[in-house]
Structures are given as C-alpha cells and as structure tokens.
Structure 1
C-alpha cells in the first residue's frame, strides 16, 4: 500500500538524441536545505525517461539514472529544469544509508490537491519534494521499502560531457529548440538565436527547456545561439548550425 503512493507519473514528449565526448567540470555548492524524497519507476529507470522538462532518452542525452522530478515549490514552472542537486537522507535511523547522490532535475512531480500533504499530496505546494529514480533512492536508503524519507539537499554545479546541445524543431514559420547538456548552473534562464544574416533574437520559454521563436527567416542561414544560466553567466556558440541545417537535427555548441 505504501509503495503505491510513491510511483508518481510523468508527462511525456518525444525528443531526438545525440552523444558527447568532452568533459566540462565545475564544483561550487549552495547551503543545505530540507525536503522529503520518494521514488518512481523501477531499477531499470525506464519510467523516468522523457518528462516535463522536454528531455528525451536520458541515457542518450547524458543524464542517465541520475535524475529527479521536482515538486511545484522547486520546479518553478520549468525554470529549474537542468539544475543539479546533491541529496542525502537524514534524521531517520531506521531507513537512512550513508552518502549522497547528485541528480539533475528532468521532470515535474505533480501536486494532488485533492489530498493533504501528509496523506498523498506529497508534491503539493509549498512542500519541497524530490521524486527520484529508484536507483538513486536506494543509494541513500537501506531499502526501497522506506517509501518516503526526510532529506537534506543543496544546489551543486553540474558536470556534463561535451558542449551544450541544441535540438532544432518546428517548421518554416516558427522554431523550437531544446537546450540540454548544460554545465555550470545547469538551469537556463534565457536563450537567443542569430542567423548569419540577422541580429540576435530572444527566444521565449515554451515549456521545460524548449525555447521558441516565431521568426521565420532563419532557414538557409547558419545559426548561432546564446545561452544564459540562472547564475547570470552567458556562453555564445557562433555558427553552431551550418546554413543547410534541417528541422530534427541536433548540434553541439560551446560549454560553460
């Protein structure tokens, strides 16, 4: 009965994929805060694929099993997608195991406003809650039967392989770009695109880490992207997509 409370569901979206090779490493941290954690899916991690941030196959995109869904209080309407957290179980001698895990926010843990936070509404605001992949949950607990445990967490800088990835979707009238594999702060605050024959055009967040522009004059031009993360740092990737780019392709830019 207890386990049924913790297998929360995920929104789905289909995304194309690429792999990476170069390593980007940084390691600053924030202060510890408290929350609760559960898990969803099984040890394969298949049920954690895709989700509300717009990422696709998390193995191919470099996130693997080191993922979590965030409650409303942490998800921030998708602005926290891509952020990295260190999480450890604490203050529960029966269930806590030593050590911590580092995970990337890739999904949303939906609230259940028909139930109180203490009885099924685990991700209801203003509650801070992490719904981890099962492999991450069992690393910080002695047994998955723990179901729900108190945790400490802090933001940490993301370690990613290779450059920032830009997956281009849309049609001749509008362009949507999935921005992923972002190191540093990890969560993207702003994206702009520039064609070889145009100036910089700010893109708007459509959902998760999918960014949208209705500018329909970019086909046939090489594309540059500018990405700003929540810590205010910006990196530009000049001419990352050649003039003959096509919708559905993914390109690798520079990294923080």
Structure 2
C-alpha cells in the first residue's frame, strides 16, 4: 500500500525544492493581466484544466487562464490575489481568482473572465476604464483557496467510458495545495493503483476495479506533503459526468 519507487523519488525532489519555492509565497510579483469575453461574463466550460462547468462558475466566476503558472496542469485550481497598480482606477485589495484554464496574452500571466477583471477596479466606472485599457499592470501572490462548506468533490469526467476507462477531476481543493498524485484502491489486487495525469486537472486509468473505488490524493503545500484519503467511495456503478462528494475537508 505504498507509492512506487519512481514516485517516492519524485516526492523526495519536491521535499528538497519546496522550501525554496515557499520563500516567495506571500510576496507580490509584478506582471500584466488582460481578459477574455464570454456571454455571461463568467468563465469558460472548455478550459485546459478540464473542469467543465465547475471552471465556469467556481468562485462566483472569478477565474483566470494563466501562462507559466499553469505548470503543465499542476497549477490548475490554485488561487491568487491579484491587484492592479493604477491608483485612480484600481481597488487596493484587487480580487482572489481561481486558475481554471491555460492561455497566453501580450506578456500577461493572467487572462481573466470579464467578471474577475471587473473586480480589479475600485468602482463600476473605473472598471469600464480598465476594460478600455485591455491590458493592465498587476502584482500577484498565491493565497489559500477557500470554499466555505465544501468537501473535496471527485467528478467523473464526461470522457469516461464505464467500465473500462475512468477519468476524474478533483474539485474544491481548499488551502494552498498542488495535487501531486492520485491513487485508486484496487480491491481485487489489494493494492493502490497510481492514476495518470491525462491533462490539466484530469486524472485517468484503464480497467479500474469493478467494485466501489476508494481515492487518496497526495498534496504538496507550504507545510510539505499531505496524504488524504476518502473513505466515502465512488460507487462501483459510477457514471460519466456525475460528481461524488468525499469526506475530505481541507483548509
């Protein structure tokens, strides 16, 4: 019931590198931001993280595509405080956004939904001015995600094909964590099976166990590694597109 040697080596590398990464957390980094259009000003359900509708509406639609912060999908679900630097039009706190997509603009790190971009402004009139600018100078820092009242949710991705192919997306990961690995308990073999990161926040496997499925997740954060397991299993007759709430609650 242990991770493979290959993964242990990867985890060791994370442990070595993590302290250096954490020294920058809490410090603002200068960059630029822009926005993308959507009919209702929310996010897009077709983002590169694979979140679907969750990527459109999570955090009240205050979401963003990112460039280098995407980190081959590891950055999906991360939360950032972002504020712009024009004292005449920008609010002092800015906004807290969730990463749900990958995208690159004109030397920008963030491409916000219109709903998120408007939150940079100090008032509605100022928001119109920021929209007219198109691109604004910003500073950002990573912050813990907060989803009040929500346990971690495992959604069976729409591309899953019962019973031979299972893809999942893990949602409502509160706190300041990256998902490093996901495993399923293989009841017939009495062992944990490592899932593959298919793309973005989507993890998949072929020929999953035929019974109820237990999920455990390895997280990396400012305090190091954290292994969490849900005893509330995905049912053996799981269905594509259905979300299953776990008993995991993070902060």
Tell me the TM-score range normalised by the shorter chain: 0.7 to 0.9
User: Structure 1 length as normaliser, TM-score?
Assistant: 0.74
Aligned position for 1:85: 80
Structure-to-structure mapping, 1:78-157, within 5 angstroms: 78-90=73-85, 92-93=86-87, 95-110=89-104, 122=106, 127=107, 129-141=109-121, 142=126, 143=129, 144-157=131-144
CA distance in 1, matches of 2:239, 2:215: 16
Pairing partner for 1:58 from 54, 57, 82: 54
User: Structure 2 length as normaliser, TM-score?
Assistant: 0.75
Aligned position for 1:67: 63
CA pair 223-156 structure 1, distance change in 2 beyond 3 A: same
Residues 31 and 137 in structure 2, CA contact (< 8 A), matched pair in contact too: yes
Q: Helix, strand or coil: the match of 2:49? A: coil
CA distance in 1, matches of 2:117, 2:58: 19
1:128 CA drift (Å): 5.2
Query: Is 73-82 or 224-233 further displaced after alignment?
Result: 224-233
Aligned position for 1:167: 155
CA pair 136-249 structure 1, distance change in 2 beyond 3 A: closer
Greater relative CO, 1 or 2 (CA 8 Å, sep 6+): 1
CA pair 242-41 structure 1, distance change in 2 beyond 3 A: same
1:46 CA drift (Å): 4.5
Residues 219 and 226 in structure 2, CA contact (< 8 A), matched pair in contact too: yes
CA distance in 1, matches of 2:135, 2:208: 51
Residues 86 and 153 in structure 1, CA contact (< 8 A), matched pair in contact too: yes
Query: Is 176-185 or 77-86 further displaced after alignment?
Result: 176-185
1:32-55: CA deviation from partner (whole Å, max 9, x where unpaired): 111101111157224533310001
Higher helix share: 2
1:188-239: CA deviation from partner (whole Å, max 9, x where unpaired): 221111144331111110011110112x1412x1111111223122211024
Aligned position for 2:219: 229
The gaps in structure 2 that reach 5 residues or longer are 1-24
CA distance in 1, matches of 2:212, 2:142: 35
Q: CA RMSD in A?
A: 2.3
1:248 CA drift (Å): 3.6
Residues 82 and 188 in structure 1, CA contact (< 8 A), matched pair in contact too: no
Structure-to-structure mapping, 1:207-222, within 5 angstroms: 207-214=199-206, 216-219=207-210, 221-222=211-212
Residues 40 and 48 in structure 1, CA contact (< 8 A), matched pair in contact too: no
**Residue-pair matches, total:** 210
